[in-house]
Amino acid sequence: MNRFALSLILLLITLNLFSQNTRDTLLIINNYSEQIDIYSPKYLYINILSESNDIKQILDIENQKIKIELDSTIELPYEYKITMIYIEREQSIKLLQEISVDTAAEEPSQQIPILSSTQIYEEKNDLVTNGYISRGIMMSSQGQSSVQSSLDLQFYGEIAPFLIEGSLNDRNLPIQPEGTSARLQEIDRVYITLKKDNFKLTLGDFNIKSGDNTYFSKYSRKLQGSMFVNQNKSKKNIYNYGGAVAMNKGKYDRVELQLVDGVSGPYKLRGTDANYIQIIANSENVYLDGNILQRGYDADYIIDYNTAEIIFMPKLFIRSSMHIVVEFLYTDYNYAQSSYGLFTEISNKKLLWGINYFSEGDVKSQPLLLTLSDSDKVLLSNTGANLPVEIPSFQTTSFDKKKILYKLIDTLGYDSVFVYCRDSTVQLYEVNFTFVGQNKGNYKISNYAANGKIYEWIPPINGIPQGEYEPIRILNAPNRLNTVESYLYYKPNEKLEARIRLGYSQHDKNTYSNNDSINQGIAYKMQLITKSSVNHTFEIFSQGMHTNFSSLEPIYTAEESRILNKDLFSNKKMEFLNGLNYNYNDKSNNYAQLSTSFFNTSKNEYSILSIANAKFNYKNFNFLTNNNYSHTRLPLYKVDFYRSNSNLDWKIKSIWLGISNKIEYHPIKKNDTIQNNSQQYYSVSPYIAWGDSSRTFIKLYYEYYNEKIPIDRYQQKGGYQLLMKHKIWNLKQNNYIVFQSTNSQEKNYFTSENEINLNTRDKSLITQLRYILAQKQTPQIDYSFIEVPIGQGTHYWIDANNNGLQELNEFHIANFSDQAQYILLSIPTQDYISTYSQTLSFNFRFSPSLINKLPKFFKNFNLQTFIDINQASKEINFLNFSYKNADSVITFNNRIRNVLEYHPKKINLSIRYEYYKQKSLQTLIVGNIEQMRENNALQIFVPITKKWNLQSQSDYLKQMNKSIFQQSTTYDYNQYSQKLELQYLETKYQIRISPRYAYMYNDNLKINKLELTLEPRIFSLKAGTFIAKLGYLYNDAKANMDPTIEYLMLEGYKPGSNGLIQIQWQKTLNQVIQISLQYEGRISQHISMTHVGSINVRALL
């Protein structure tokens, strides 16, 4: 696969290296928000590449414009170098349609069999490529080095006789996109597709889905490997066939959430073989009582794929009586997983026959994060199907200050207890702890360090463990499932059809062992379907499955299993389902469905199921009802199930009057005793609505909810939904409150979601205000830092207390690239706290220049305001955004940014004032971390002549960090700085001379800093771009300062005199190859000079 991809890249370079035109352009940006028109009648296709990471660039291909958003910390004017790749208009218009694909749309699942329409190019042998290959290396005089490489290539076109399309990159990102919208973009998808007539071959990443005719072998997977499909036709028959060989990107699972009344989330998803998992993006299906929910902020739920957490939106009130089931694919890091399958299908006017084979399982020779010794493999081989296996996970070791170590003691009548220890004179152990569940282990987390967690033993109470961790390893054995299904459809005429299908499965639960009997099972299903007319359909069916039959995904939905009470049936050899279905549909979209079926495993174990659903529309009346009833008889259990959902509404002009009700009766009796998982409730909800959801809509509703089992309670829910849309403003509200009463107490729940948008017709004033108040459960966060090669991280470690242990608060944002050796990982723990969450966001932008009749003086101003506040607390703090009560507030984040600008166009003067403040509070298990940063900045740009400018930058900064559990990293200081910059700006060369003075102080320190820098820049088409920076820095700080304060206040430099040299050279060779050389040298008083160099080569494709 990799060899093929490399060969294809070389081929593409050879064919198309000079087929596209490139042009380097240097733009001088004078505003923080600017739009640049790149339209030219000569250009058909334009793409932009830039080296800068300081800008937000939006390319508008349709209108051929670049929208630039600069960060407020960038000094103006800003030089923005771009490489423009363009195709001239003479090239095929049809070819352009091929390359202008919708990158936001997800690659559809390849359904087997599938035939897509073939697109023919207007011109032959056209191939369009877009992308680059980049390689770089960084080295420092301290012996550190790192290699950076990247590949990003997209191509479309024709290499006779195939149409080819693909995307290649080496990002291999370990993160998933945000699950906050209905459409997602797969940013790391790598694939090559070859098409010819009805043949299609895909290499790389692809989605695959079983055909509509499969039943016992249904699946939907995201794979990485190869797949092909093809179709041939004869005079009588159509032949579809295909196959796939690939590695799995995720493992399928289905879980039911344990819901909490009134709590919208987040709810943690856990896999069968793992507690900490990552969900494969866009692989989930979420069902509420059998009805699928939609993803998105304006829909039913959002999901964090990286932390495997799901949050429900305010419009959905969560009750513990609800049944929410989530199906998803997740990353399993025990073993690599492989899949392979084949299918074929033959069809004609009366007959359809097909066979589908699919196999997936673990590759035992490729364990991932699971480390297996030879003794572990022997243990698994002798275990058989008695899985999983738990073994002790500790070993003796010598003292190492970088490790978390324990000693073994006896205490309170318990022996072999591990206690955290840093004493090098005793026998020490390195211990790995595993989460086993609440009250199932004897250890809890007592503290956090950057190199891991510290665990503490908790004595049991009355023999019941009080922790959730144990010093064990869990060995999961590799397994494999093979399935094959054959089906035959016979349709002699339009009114009669017969279907029969057979399934066979082979499930090896432990491929290491020969002692586990491989479970083999068979299944069948027969159907006879008749149509007496266009509107009426009758079906009789019979289905049977052996108890050892295993499917890739469950045959029954979660709701069907609950209605049939399948979990209560004891071990059986065969299970049978026989029944009748009747369906009615008409042209007015009315329908009726009646169904009855009999499920049994023996004469004494059975369930009888009946279904009656209908939808009826007559004039202004609409009626919808869904009803399910089942009766289950077992030797120990007697269960009845009845559920009804109905809605009736009446439309009078623009007014809707309606009422809905829901009833569920599900008593589970074991030996005539009601069980705790029984349910009984009913609800009724009248409502009135007015308007049209596309413009103005309001709905008032009331719901009475009465629950008898498992607890006796009733709830009254009242609320309204409001949506008003106008040309210059719109309002959206969704508010409700729930009053609950039980025999012992009363409790209230509420949710408030409000959003208002206001803008003038000329867009000179744009505002948005959003406020959300809801009840959630907040996870306590586990932070960790991971060391990476130099230049590829974000943080720098300072051993503040000289104990040699990397602790959480000893990491800071790196000031220099060679110090950036750590990245931050944020991992939610298993501990959740019930909280009241409120979010307030406000955006305001006023642009007087867009108002026609305003005096010219006022048109020179521009005002922006941004406020974002998030708070989670144990108590209700309605519109009280403060964290002074630390015992109540769990998390708090507050960001405020105000910008006032003055830009008179005639004299090109620029004055900009910015106020920025950020406050945060994060609660860890061991204490709180409180941080604050506040800055006032005034920037003045004065043009002296056409080429000479003067720029002034004044800053007043306050910074604070307060740690409850780590006093050595608690600091608080203020800083005032003044910088003047004299600029000479010419097309071919520029010079900047900048003196800067800063005064920093706190209760114990006063520091003066003086800095002088010289920055020459030379631009040449032949010689390239040369940028240098020479700096001298002096401060009167004391030599024995606290290391954390020294690093932050001195910005990475040392007390006394410091020197800085930065040199960068960049050149584009042959309009295709870009080469960049960078050097940085730093020297401080009494410290040898640090040298850092890097080289980067990029080839544009």
Residues 965 and 982 in one domain: no
Residues 764 and 899 in one domain: yes
What is the C-alpha separation between 283 and 328, in angstroms, rounded?
Answer: 5
Residues 829 and 895 in one domain: yes
Residues 957 and 986 in one domain: no
Q: Give a yes or no: residue 176 inside a domain.
A: no
Task: Report the pLDDT value the prediction gives residue 90, as an integer from 0 to 100.
Answer: 39
Q: Give a yes or no: residue 845 inside a domain.
A: yes
Structurally, the chain folds into a number of domains equal to 5
Q: Give a yes or no: residue 195 inside a domain.
A: no
Task: Report the pLDDT value the prediction gives residue 97, as an integer from 0 to 100.
Answer: 31
Between strands 127-140 and 145-159, the pairing is: antiparallel
What is the C-alpha separation between 809 and 801, in angstroms, rounded?
Answer: 11
Residues 829 and 896 in one domain: yes
Residues 997 and 964 in one domain: no
Q: Give a yes or no: residue 101 inside a domain.
A: no
Contacts of 917-920 spanning 24+ positions with Cβ under 8 A: 918/893, 918/894, 919/883, 919/892, 919/893, 919/894, 920/892, 920/893, 920/894
Residues 838 and 965 in one domain: yes
What is the C-alpha separation between 937 and 616, in angstroms, rounded?
Answer: 66
Q: Give a yes or no: residue 282 inside a domain.
A: yes
**Residue at which a domain ends, from 312, 331, 350:** 331
Residues 985 and 927 in one domain: no
Q: Token digits for 545?
A: 């499955």
With the CA atoms of 662, 668, 674 and 675 taken in that order, what torsion angle do they form, in degrees rounded to the nearest 10? -100
Q: Which residues contact 372 (CB under 8 A, 6 or more apart)?
A: 380, 475
Residues 918 and 1004 in one domain: no
Q: Token digits for 362?
A: 């673990």
Between strands 110-111 and 199-209, the pairing is: parallel
Residues 955 and 1010 in one domain: no
Q: Give a yes or no: residue 264 inside a domain.
A: yes
- Is 417 in contact with 411 (CB distance < 8 Å)? yes
Write a three-state SS string for 322-343. Answer: CCEEEEEEECCCCEEEEEEEEE
Nearest to 4 by CA among 230, 282, 191: 191
Question: Side-chain half-sphere of 602: how many Cα atoms within 13 Å?
Answer: 10
Q: Exposed, middle or buried, 1086 (CB in 10 Å: 0-12/13-18/19+)?
A: exposed
Task: Report the pLDDT value the prediction gives residue 1013, as an integer from 0 to 100.
Answer: 93
Low-confidence ranges of the chain (pLDDT < 50): 1-20, 39, 41-45, 51-64, 72-73, 87-124, 173
**Residue at which a domain ends, from 911, 939, 969:** 969
Residues 771 and 911 in one domain: yes
Task: Report the pLDDT value the prediction gives residue 484, as an integer from 0 to 100.
Answer: 95
Domain with 290 in it = 251-331
User: What per-residue string of b and e applies to 164-196 under the rule 16 or more CB within 10 Å gives b?
Assistant: bbbbbbeeeeeebbebbeeebebebbbbbbbbe
Q: Give a yes or no: residue 509 inside a domain.
A: no
Residues 999 and 964 in one domain: no
Q: Which residues contact 871 (CB under 8 A, 6 or more apart)?
A: 837, 838, 839, 877, 881, 883, 889, 891, 892, 893
**Residue at which a domain ends, from 948, 969, 990:** 969
Q: What is the CATH number of the domain that holds 1004?
A: 2.40.160.40
Task: Report the pLDDT value the prediction gives residue 184, as an integer from 0 to 100.
Answer: 55
Task: Report the pLDDT value the prediction gives residue 99, as an integer from 0 to 100.
Answer: 28
What is the C-alpha separation between 1075 and 1069, in angstroms, rounded?
Answer: 8
What is the C-alpha separation between 1062 and 1030, in angstroms, rounded?
Answer: 7
309 three-class SS = strand
Q: Give a yes or no: residue 587 inside a domain.
A: yes
